[in-house]
Structure 1
Amino acid sequence: MSKPRALLLVGVMFWLSGCANSPHRLPYDSWRLGLFAPNYMEVWIETADAVDVQDRAFRRAMSGLAAINTPKNIKGNPRGWPQRPGAGKGKQVLGADLPRLIYVRWQSLVEPQTYEAYIIIPEATRQAMLKGEKTFCQADAKWITGYRDVLTVGLAPGGVTRVWLMGACLAPIDVARVQGTVVKKGPYGGKASGYYRPPNEASRAYIEKYGVPYGSW
């Protein structure tokens, strides 16, 4: 066998081996991590990290303000969780396999307090992420094969987290409720000298009038 042909054969075998061991086995390009807070209970996310089943870490998959509704007439209701939460504010976790763990460190601006939580994703949730379901989308009146490819995390005062698995035109699945713990060093591990940015005007107005509804989440 000629040398060029031998090199070509080695290259093809290496490529095939790589395909056989490819970690990407999802029926879609990527899954999404989104985060939100109850009405008026404003949250600043320092980091939201994901670890997949191959123990690869995807750091700062999300940071910044979580999704939130703050009606200016302060008549919104922050108590409890919505039956159908939105996708939240977040990003696609590109290149990740199925999730094993989500780590979130955040500042609850209305308290203020800094929390962290380690959220274990159950195997049943991962299996649900691989399952296509035929469903009817009312928005465009079409039947589709949908996948639950969105993990949504709710962050509430007191360090409470709640997680759902969601997909286009599919009912959300309740994944977990996890109690976070206080980060004693404060914002950014003590690097912010204890400074918390103030909540937005509507959040401040709600808290001044009604307080924080602890125990409702």
Structure 2
Amino acid sequence: MTKYLSPLFGFLLAVCTQTHAQAKDRLPWFLGFGAPDYMEVWVETADVVDIRERVFQRAGAGIASVRAPADNKGTPAGWPENPGSGAGRDITGADLPRLIYVRWQSLAEPQTYEAYILIPELAREIMRKPEKAFCRLDGKWITDYRDDVGVGLAPGGIVKVWLGGSCLKSVEIARVEGSVVKQGPYQGKNEGRYALPLSPESKAYIEKFGIPFGSW
């Protein structure tokens, strides 16, 4: 549901914004979340401010997309060359994003972080621009948009953001270092308990190899 001028964003909404709207014939853009191999994440909330200054609270929440191959065969250090958009949903009713706030639990550590991601105008220009792309799946050329916003969440509070499309290579648009939420998970409302335990595969990897801080 859309709400206006949430106190969470009050100090940031005063920043001047671009007024160029999304093309009227465009479908909603997608917001998704992922994490490096084994570095499991639970998104408490992701709130969006669009370029019309509307606030979409809980535009995203839940488990981020992550791989946890058996026998420690994953590669958690660094990011994939062409990361996908992750687990999420379409942001129906929103214009192009200006700001994304995300608060998440890094289950691998464990630790709770929050970050404000300012989306540059250059990124919105990319989202507006159609491109011809070859889809290997069906062997056809199509006109596609980079309207998938993929947010990568890594231990240490590191955030990276990419724009992608179903048949287009992802383009990095932002990197942010989040801050620790001192109240802990769920802003202190869950007696310090995290949303989920680590999967056996992730727990085994981290116990053996640790967390590759500094690689993201």
Q: 5+ unaligned residues in a row in structure 2: which ranges?
A: 1-20
CA deviation after TM superposition for structure 1 residue 25, in Å = 3.2
User: Which of 154, 175, 178 is equivalent to 2:176?
Assistant: 178
Q: SS state of the match for residue 41, structure 1?
A: coil
Name the structure 1 match of 2:162. 164
CA distance in 1, matches of 2:67, 2:24: 32
Name the structure 1 match of 2:202. 203
Identity %: 58
CA distance in 2, matches of 1:161, 1:168: 22
- Cα displacement string for residues 151-207 of structure 1 (whole angstroms, at most 9, x for unaligned residues): 000000000000000012112111010000000000111001111232111110001
- Cα displacement string for residues 56-75 of structure 1 (whole angstroms, at most 9, x for unaligned residues): 11111111110000012111
Say if 1:163 and 1:177, in contact at 8 Å, map to a contact too: yes
The size of the alignment, in residue pairs, is 195
Q: Which amino acid aligns with 1:55?
A: E
CA distance in 2, matches of 1:144, 1:106: 36
Q: Which amino acid aligns with 2:66?
A: I
Q: Which has the larger radius of gyration?
A: 1
The two structures have a TM-score, normalised by structure 2, of: 0.88
Write the mapping of 1:103-182 to structure 2, written as runs, cut at 5 A. 103-182=101-180
Q: Which amino acid aligns with 1:25?
A: A
CA distance in 2, matches of 1:154, 1:173: 13
CA RMSD across the alignment: 1.1
Name the structure 1 match of 2:81. 83
The two structures have a TM-score, normalised by structure 1, of: 0.87
Q: Which amino acid aligns with 1:201?
A: P
Q: SS state of the match for residue 123, structure 2?
A: helix
Change in CA separation of 1:24 and 1:213 when aligned onto 2, cut-off 3 Å: closer
CA deviation after TM superposition for structure 1 residue 147, in Å = 0.5
Greater mean alpha carbon deviation, residues 155-164 or residues 128-137: 128-137
- Cα displacement string for residues 112-133 of structure 1 (whole angstroms, at most 9, x for unaligned residues): 1000000000000001111001
CA deviation after TM superposition for structure 1 residue 31, in Å = 0.2
Q: 5+ unaligned residues in a row in structure 1: which ranges?
A: 1-22
